Structure 1
Amino acid sequence: MPEKERFDAAGRRVLLVCVAGGFTTLIDQSVLNTSIPALRGTLHAQPAHLQWIVAGYSLAFGLALIPGGRLGDVKGRKWFFVIGLALFTLVSLVSATATDPTVLIAARLLQGAGAGLVNSQMIGTLQDVFDGQLRARALGMYAVTGSLAFALGPPIGGLVLAAAGPELGWRITFLLNVPFGLATLALAVRHLPRPRPAARHADLDLLGLLLVGALTLALMLPFVRPPGLAGRLAFAAAVLALLGALIGWQRRYARTGGHPLIHPALTRSAPYALGTAIAMAQFGFSLAASLVLTMFLQDGLGLSPMGAALVSLPSALAMATASGLAWRVVQRLGRRTVTVGMTGSALAMLLSGIVAQWAPAVVLPWLLALLQLLGGASVGLMGSTNQAYVLRHAPAEAAGVSGAILQMAQRIAAAVAVSALSGVYLRETAGGGGHRSAYLTAGLVCAAVAGLAVLASVFAGRVSGRDRTPEKPDETVTVSPGRTSVR
């Protein structure tokens, strides 16, 4: 076995800045989920407001990734990192002091754009600074940081709300971003490498960005503001038209020598496309299910924010533990690790809805906590594993943008899933269906999407097997905290 490479002092400082920036921007949304019921009461927010407050962040985050990465290639990454983090930190103050839901929606969109700009620079910086094994380990640490931020958010939010009360507590959850953001800004200015532009001219595919944004809005709006039958048909037609326009434009843009938003080589790689679809299903509906669970526990069962956070805590612990053991499972199961994890996630979502409908109230929080344990372990097992396999199958000519495309797809999925699932839940409770039946419906929707992802994972494994040739021997994907490598 080759000797394990070690980061030098300069590399450790760069890695510290990137991990700190990732944690600060990625924990924001998971902390906010716990605060949604308190925020709704203080601002008198309507269901549509809540959906945009949560989903708008993911939407703006995803749409900022690709142009942010391209700008970093052209002008250098350091100052775009600083600008994005400064915007995120400043707007956190606006969010914390908002007195109107529309102001908070606008602030969340700006926060998401700043976070997307930051994270696109981090991916590029890690690829610029590190090579080989060190690059794989650095990207693995970044992936695990995102998982831990997602898992630790609800307990942190619950503690803040328990200590400060609902009206002040949700504002403090936004203020938490400020000291972390300022500290990371100071580290970034001092330790990030000087700008080293790698491209001669900008090629942002602005029309591609506009088409992707319009397509995402056409997917989201029917869930935020449900239309009648004629409206649904109109939105469906708009989605098909925009999708056709996007595909046609991407092909034309590539033929003219430009660099399209979605590289044609990525769409031609079936394992990459299927793995990205699996990641979208897992990330989008995990985030949406966490939000709906929080609303159900606080509004439906009357638990305090701290009580709701304790129900979610087993998911965080299981996710961290499973992430640490995933590499051992990969050694035994290989690509099937993703299928096993996605199957566990589907079962956890399905059983959560069933027990919420029929279990006695006195034992229901305990049963949901147990199922959170299963769900968290499943996500920890397959999250970074699937990422490693997706990037393994990215064509060489698109290696530089494959990670950004994957993140963008996940964030758009999160925006659509949060809008859809929270809309389903809020409409059913407003219509007199009751919190239990609404949560059952949400659980069935999540389980159905996860089930489709399981089928996609099985098919991806078969396609990956057909892709292997004698000239390209099988590769081993290793995933562990701080290590994601392909050999």
Structure 2
Amino acid sequence: MSLTTAPAPVKAGGARWVVAVCLCAGFTTLLDQSVLNVVVPALRGSLHAGTASLQWILAGYSLAFGLALVPAGRLGDLYGRRLLFAGGLAVFAVSAVVAATAQHGWVVAAARLVQGFGAGVVNPQIIGLFQDLFHGRDRARALGAYAFVGGVAGMLGPLLGGVVLQLAGDGLGWRLVLLANLPFAVVTIPLALRVLPAGRPAGHRGDLDLGGLLLLGGTTLAALLSVVGTGGWWWLAGAGAGLAGFLAWERRWTALGRSAILLPALTRNRGYVLGVLVAMCYFGATLALNLVLSLYLQDGLHHPPLAAAAIALPSAVGFALTSAFTSGLRRRGTTVALGVAVASIAASIAAVEVLPAGPVVWALAASQFVIGAAGGFVIAPNQALTLSHAPPGVNGLSAALLQLSQRLAASVSIAAVSGIFLATAATSGGPAPALADGAALCLGLAALALLFALLDRPSSIEGSRVVE
């Protein structure tokens, strides 16, 4: 791959090592979210965890992941990425051991929060390194490989969890599932210290907007607390107030000539903002849909974990088949793919409402294949199109804001859909209405992603050059 100005020269053949180490870390941290979906019933039975505890265990990882992204991305821009990369991965690995050996649900939830923080430190360094070291087609290939690895990890995670539970049983199985990514982390940390470039990335140094970071973190936390636990409306009002305060602070900080989190070069760029909104809504829709399907098959239809996890396999196959053909794809292509995904989610809801338990599983598998195939045409191209609008010197920040939007959507959507499913299942007397209600939220998010993609089409010509 061709290299641009870097903090330290990358030796001959080093580019491939940098990409390999980054992809391994990306797979490790992104696998961790999806692999937990299938073990929820086993974990709940083993630790006697209630609904609120389960919501925190499921959503806390994405919450802490999102809270860490922006400060970690900005710190990487200012001071270098290698130590942040290795340190975040070490925190991630230690927290996995704590979660896997826990005897109480709250300990698992706390460990998952810390683990998500470690993952949130690592991932903006991955995309930031790709932005720092590569340009043009090489950058698009690296970003596409990262999106592909993340997509496959997310879709194969439930299958891996199902296999482990089938072989080890519920009591030990969920603990082994939480340790599944540990070997990847242990191998990747020393490699990262050896091959990743040291020093500060080339470009504008800027400063750290601590006030903005605190306000953004508080707003994000309040948004999740509005879904998990009690006092939802009060927390939602707090999130709205926090957002208003954050925007006011950012305007003042920018007026003083300081480097705000919401850089005008990003927030006033129509293509970047709409691309972030597409990623946010689509990410939340797909992660929440995977969770509600797993709950439906295990809690509702009483399928064993491995059979429930197998529903993710068609999606992974579809994603892998289409991801190889995204080179040169413009916004029009991602828009068509989003339309297909929306139609497939709607078909899933209809199938659950009208088909008996046996045929509905096959219908859901077919729908998952279509959704996965559509995702191959959405994730990597949208990421490349969006990040092509980032100005020099803020590659880590632009990547962090993109991922933050995804993680916030994931946190709120997962917490909401798990609460919706469990509440509806307890009151309606059947799993089908519970799945339909949960999937309706996913359908709404996917439809919003489609709307934002449609709005972005006139501005996509310049950004699409990155993938040509």
TM-score (norm 1): 0.89
Alignment of 1:145 with 2:122, yes or no, is no
Give 1:134 deviation, angstroms.
2.9
- 5+ residue gaps, structure 2, are 4-10
Give 1:150 deviation, angstroms.
1.1
Give 1:356 deviation, angstroms.
1.6
Structure 1 window deviating more from structure 2 (105-114 vs 208-217): it is: 208-217
Report the AA paired with residue 251 of structure 1.
Answer: R
Give 1:89-104 correspondences, 5 Å limit: 89-104=93-108
CA shift in 2, pair 1:260/1:357, >3 Å = same
2-structure distance, mates of 1:193, 1:397: 16
Out of 16, 25, 29, the position equivalent to 1:25 is 29
Alignment of 1:425 with 2:421, yes or no, is yes
Give 1:93-172 correspondences, 5 Å limit: 93-172=97-176
Out of 450, 453, 458, the position equivalent to 1:457 is 453
Report Cα offsets for 1:417-452 as digits up to 9, x if no partner.
111111111111122442110111112222122222
Q: Are the aligned partners of 1:344 and 1:378 in contact in 2 as well (CA < 8 Å)?
A: yes
TM-score (norm 2): 0.92
Structure 1 window deviating more from structure 2 (138-147 vs 272-281): it is: 138-147
Alignment of 1:359 with 2:320, yes or no, is no
Alignment of 1:66 with 2:67, yes or no, is no
Q: CA RMSD in A?
A: 2.2
Report the AA paired with residue 148 of structure 2.
Answer: V
1-structure distance, mates of 2:306, 2:31: 17
Report the AA paired with residue 240 of structure 2.
Answer: L
2-structure distance, mates of 1:362, 1:132: 49
Q: Which residue of 2 aligns with 1:405?
A: 401
Report the AA paired with residue 225 of structure 1.
Answer: G
Give 1:25-424 correspondences, 5 Å limit: 25-196=29-200, 203-227=207-231, 232=233, 234-327=234-327, 330=329, 334-394=330-390, 401-424=397-420
Q: Are the aligned partners of 2:212 and 2:246 in contact in 1 as well (CA < 8 Å)?
A: yes
Give 1:86 deviation, angstroms.
0.8
CA shift in 2, pair 1:309/1:279, >3 Å = same
1-structure distance, mates of 2:345, 2:180: 31
Q: Are the aligned partners of 2:88 and 2:121 in contact in 1 as well (CA < 8 Å)?
A: yes
The total of aligned residue pairs comes to 461
Give 1:291 deviation, angstroms.
0.8
Give 1:190 deviation, angstroms.
2.2
Give the secondary-structure state (helix, strand or coil) at the position aligned to 2:198.
coil
Q: Are the aligned partners of 1:392 and 1:486 in contact in 2 as well (CA < 8 Å)?
A: no
Q: Are the aligned partners of 1:266 and 1:398 in contact in 2 as well (CA < 8 Å)?
A: no
2-structure distance, mates of 1:283, 1:352: 18
Report Cα offsets for 1:59-115 as digits up to 9, x if no partner.
111121221122223332212211111111111100100111111111001101111
2-structure distance, mates of 1:119, 1:47: 29
Report the AA paired with residue 345 of structure 1.
Answer: A
CA shift in 2, pair 1:125/1:453, >3 Å = closer
Give the secondary-structure state (helix, strand or coil) at the position aligned to 2:358.
coil
CA shift in 2, pair 1:475/1:65, >3 Å = closer
Give 1:253 deviation, angstroms.
1.0
Give the secondary-structure state (helix, strand or coil) at the position aligned to 1:165.
helix
Give 1:365 deviation, angstroms.
1.2
Give the secondary-structure state (helix, strand or coil) at the position aligned to 1:275.
helix
Q: Are the aligned partners of 2:70 and 2:400 in contact in 1 as well (CA < 8 Å)?
A: yes
1-structure distance, mates of 2:244, 2:464: 37
CA shift in 2, pair 1:198/1:475, >3 Å = closer
Report the AA paired with residue 113 of structure 2.
Answer: L
Structure 1 window deviating more from structure 2 (266-275 vs 34-43): it is: 266-275
2-structure distance, mates of 1:196, 1:151: 35
1-structure distance, mates of 2:388, 2:125: 21
Give the secondary-structure state (helix, strand or coil) at the position aligned to 2:357.
coil
Give 1:347 deviation, angstroms.
1.7
1-structure distance, mates of 2:237, 2:456: 30
Report the AA paired with residue 318 of structure 1.
Answer: G
Q: Are the aligned partners of 2:162 and 2:306 in contact in 1 as well (CA < 8 Å)?
A: yes
Report Cα offsets for 1:349-388 as digits up to 9, x if no partner.
2221221222111212111111111111111111112112
CA shift in 2, pair 1:131/1:451, >3 Å = closer
Alignment of 1:443 with 2:442, yes or no, is no
Report the AA paired with residue 36 of structure 1.
Answer: V
1-structure distance, mates of 2:192, 2:201: 18
1-structure distance, mates of 2:396, 2:104: 41
- 5+ residue gaps, structure 1, are 469-473, 478-484
Q: Are the aligned partners of 2:143 and 2:383 in contact in 1 as well (CA < 8 Å)?
A: no
Give 1:399 deviation, angstroms.
5.0
Identity %: 46
Give 1:336 deviation, angstroms.
1.6
Give 1:398 deviation, angstroms.
5.2
Structure 1 window deviating more from structure 2 (309-318 vs 451-460): it is: 451-460
